[in-house]
Amino acid sequence: MSDNFFCEGADKAPQRSLFNALGMTKEEMKRPLVGIVSSYNEIVPGHMNIDKLVEAVKLGVAMGGGTPVVFPAIAVCDGIAMGHKGMKYSLVTRDLIADSTECMALAHHFDALVMVPNCDKNVPGLLMAAARINVPTVFVSGGPMLAGHVKGSKRSLSSMFEAVGAYTAGKMSAEDVEEFENKVCPTCGSCSGMYTANSMNCLTEVLGMGLKGNGTIPAVYSERLKLAKQAGMQVMELYRKNIRPLDIMTKEAFCNALTADMALGCSTNSMLHLPAIANECGISIDLDMANEISARTPNLCHLAPAGHTYMEDLNEAGGVYAVLNELAKKNLINTDCMTCTGKTVGENIKGCVNKDTNTIRPIDDPYSETGGIAVLKGNLAPDRCVVKRSAVAPEMLVHKGPARVFDSEEEAIKVIYAGGINPGDVVVIRYEGPAGGPGMREMLSPTSAIQGAGLGSTVALITDGRFSGATRGAAIGHVSPEAVNGGTIAYVKDGDIISIDIPNYSINLEVPDEELEERRRTMPIKRKEGITGYLKRYAQQVSSADKGAIINK
């Protein structure tokens, strides 16, 4: 009896005739049909090498006894989309990727899948699809970029955006900006710091859906080609053992992911993606869980933009498994969770020692006793907001200042570049949430402009939009409810005092309740005009950020 659904019986002859049209032999038709989801394209630097990895995966699948068949997934480069209308189309692709992959995989009855993603929304979109489809699945990412070198120091894309801010503030020459431009992104791969793409690729490894090194082996290393072949062979082992994504992505696995998130200092975007992926697994992740886990999880890594180490350094230090091994020393992770290796987390990390205590701090000597991300709550964000605490200057962990209010990113960046923001200000950018944007744009340009102008230790930025993983500073995003849904952020006025207390997880608008009620009665909600096509449908269906900006079902 064949392993291929289509191989036996006269009723499947029409399908076999179409496989013949593909040039598929009878021997291939008898083997399990393995879909390889390729996000290769020629516009995203993190994806330009994926064609080579896909060929390696195909070889691994064939070596393991399967028949590999490739189909595509889209991907947006957040860096290229940043700062213009294109960023509205970044987060929204997560659901397009999940939906289209579900359609392709189930329509063609694949027996197993290997996902080959790399960048920001591509990874969580395919994890969401993997949960829906629930056939044996392994992930192998395109891998991180090597760090650039400028004036004797390692640099990355966040340095480039901050260089633009410094130039605009008159603190850097045009020649220096050009040097950054030519050197900060020296190879293919996902940008070299602990930004969203690398955060999600590392967390894929923690969840158990990627093999060792999935998040950290640089894109240009031949070791990544070996990893791709191993992924192809391993998916056949999962097929034979019938180990599926929902066997791996359990509640305990998501708790592990949140714990590793805090230790690694991942992007705040993980607070959108982990709840969305968990939702597809039938698991609810409340953002309060993030604070509970953060309170007991030390922050062990300060990768760029929080510090001066990069993904290549994390890889040399022992990678994600070495971080998990540190956490296991204090029983902070569940070591019994099954993974795509066919072994438990505990079996996987045994002997994976920390080889560089400058990159991964020992569990007894962390950067801080609490995790890299904090979820804040108060009258300005009744349903919470998120900040990358590990990338905030110590003097900005508690801050109080007057609001400078803008109804779009464009309005804010114009004033910041013109030198119109003063030390102590709290910049508020609203109507950029999932529905109000629509698309919940990242605000890397404003935050980088603030850093480049030398205001990073005196100015906070708050938005119902979100931030790139490359952002550093007191940048507080995901304010919920968002402005377009009548959240308090819609009623902030210039000069209002906003108080931020990150250690105590609070954020408040110091305006009397009576005054706020009056503003709710008299200040109209603003809605973007001219929204059409997919963005219009998205805005009508998307949930708030505190729920993961999922499409309501």
- Residues 327/297, Cβ–Cβ less than 8 Å: yes
User: Exposed/middle/buried for 175, CB within 10 Å: 0-12, 13-18, 19+?
Assistant: exposed
What is the Cα–Cα distance from 191 to 189, expressed in whole angstroms? 6
How many C-beta neighbours within 10 Å does residue 89 have?
18
Q: What are phi and psi of 210, to 5 degrees?
A: -130, 150
| CA atoms within 13 Å, Cβ hemisphere of 198 | 33
Report helix, strand or coil for 536: helix
Q: Which residues pair with 137 in a beta bridge?
A: 113
Number of H helices, E strands in the chain: 21, 14
Catalytic residue among 156, 445, 468, 544: 468
Q: Which token pair is 282?
A: 């039938």
> Which 8-state DSSP code applies to residue 147?
P
**Any catalytic annotation for residue 100?**
no
What is the Cα–Cα distance from 511 to 523, expressed in whole angstroms? 15
- Residues 407/525, Cβ–Cβ less than 8 Å: no
Q: What are phi and psi of 489, to 5 degrees?
A: -60, -25
Q: What are phi and psi of 533, to 5 degrees?
A: 60, -145
* Ranges assigned E (strand) in 181-280: none
How many C-beta neighbours within 10 Å does residue 289 have?
16
The residue with tokens 């992926």 is 277
Residue spans of alpha helices (H) in 22-90: 26-30, 50-63, 78-81
Report helix, strand or coil for 61: helix
Q: Is the dihedral of CA 240, 244, 248, 251 positive or negative?
A: negative
User: Closest by alpha carbon to 113, among 61, 52, 39, 184?
Assistant: 61
User: Closest by alpha carbon to 271, among 183, 176, 203, 191?
Assistant: 203
**Cα 471 from chain centre:** 13
- Residues 271/287, Cβ–Cβ less than 8 Å: yes
Residue spans of alpha helices (H) in 64-186: 78-81, 93-107, 122-133, 157-168, 174-183
**Cα 417 from chain centre:** 28
The residues annotated with a catalytic role in the active site are 468
